[in-house]
Structure 1
């Protein structure tokens, strides 16, 4: 709950200031009014007020209502001038209330009315009688406290909305990337099922006439494959949406040369280092590795511009390691990387690595550049 939080260091500081101000003003004697009768009680009242200020954010309405009611009653009974600390405390409590509750709620309205009653009672019991200048100063200070509270409340609401919107956009970005990955992987699966079905049909045609049982089994496998292929095509249609096109050839690490030529033409000086003995990779892993390199180089062009970069593909027993490191923006170009850089590049890389239970690290490399390192189990 918003109002159940414990006092913060700022709360302790404000309460200490109010308590010290109240005690100092009462003990030293007020400059514009005679000294209090029952001085120890007023000093104790200042201390109690400081405690209320300390916990004002836990129950902003309750603290303000009780403080206003007690002070209005004291003004009516004692007919004494208000001390400065009393008025300033009222303003602090009004600010806190309007910064915590809904502006159009009942508590906000009652708090404003209670503060108005406090100001009226303070002016009516003033001695000598308060002039129009005093009334104007009191009203202006009250409006400043109320306006500041409303501004703080609005700032908090906008901050919460911005955080929620950012979280929603992040979820949408993840969903978009997962859908794109799913489309690519479904293309691979559909192609594999199609090849399997055709090969099954080819084997069936090669059977002898007396191999009826084998022919029936292969026919069943072939029909099942065609049914699965049809369902996969329906799923691909749903994933692509109305604007989706047909199946396109899927890329893999064997097409890294073409990718590097494209980014070189865009101004990126990139070199490729392949380590270890390349081995055939599962189609989904091969595609994901290619996409990770592609996204990393695209991000380099987008955020660092024409610069130098190095791509390392390391084939190791049981895993594939990818490293894409750039040198950062060249002299005269401001770096553009940051949380607000936009795009789904890193999100897509994380999703692809997570799909294969791999690991991904991405961030500045300490020399002004940016490094992306991925480990994909095979």
Structure 2
């Protein structure tokens, strides 16, 4: 399962990004380069789905793929599928994790997961008169939210416990048996301690990465279904309050974008913010990636944007060096990145991220 995700990433990246690029993608590194890769190589859904993946852990799995002749690593860094790897993807019949929507939802799902875990623990423990339990989630914001939920439901705690049980039963019935069972065994309540990832790995004969991916996908599935049909899941709906899509733009890039809106040049912003020009350029690319209404015409004419995009499409590449060489150095790497970023945003306009 995790193997399929890794090989899919390798396939989509076409040997144009390193193993570090895959690591940054899966862990959700908030950089303009990683976000642009997610968009440009159509790997948006995997962005940030495995935030606690270790770099050595990923490298070890890639070594295993190489040993099994599923990938080769070019120039010590760039993975490429072998013929055997291509065949594996073509014949793969396992879950394809269709509910993953990482670039849009990974932060919301992480908070939703924390809320659900802590709320179940709170309801079941206090329902049995145990007020001195140690919270599973050491996250002040989540604890405050769950406390509010508990105070609003404490008169009917038993009813809410039955409700969330029935809601889980309905939602898990639409997933694969292994995902449903992993999720159920992982939950912790008043008198039941959920299994660790290592215990689940042994019980189901999976890798720890497969366990993590299945659990994550289950939460994505539950979150999306609850958001779509809140009336069907009253208990879980309590846990999605306030979890709305936000732009991925970083606070620093947002400040740069606001100066751009005021008509400042890159040179002026560089002096005002005391940052490198390349950093300001990264911010502008980041803004182009995630803000639908951001026009880049002040940096590149529409004709030049189209020239760059059509060249990338013709070459079937996102490699800046290749595009730059094909265009005989007419455009800087910044201009090429910016044109591609705006194009990628235009492709996604049907599903823009909300408020900056």
Name the structure where strand makes up a greater proportion of residues.
Answer: 1
Q: Rg larger in 1 or in 2?
A: 1
TM-score (norm 1): 0.24
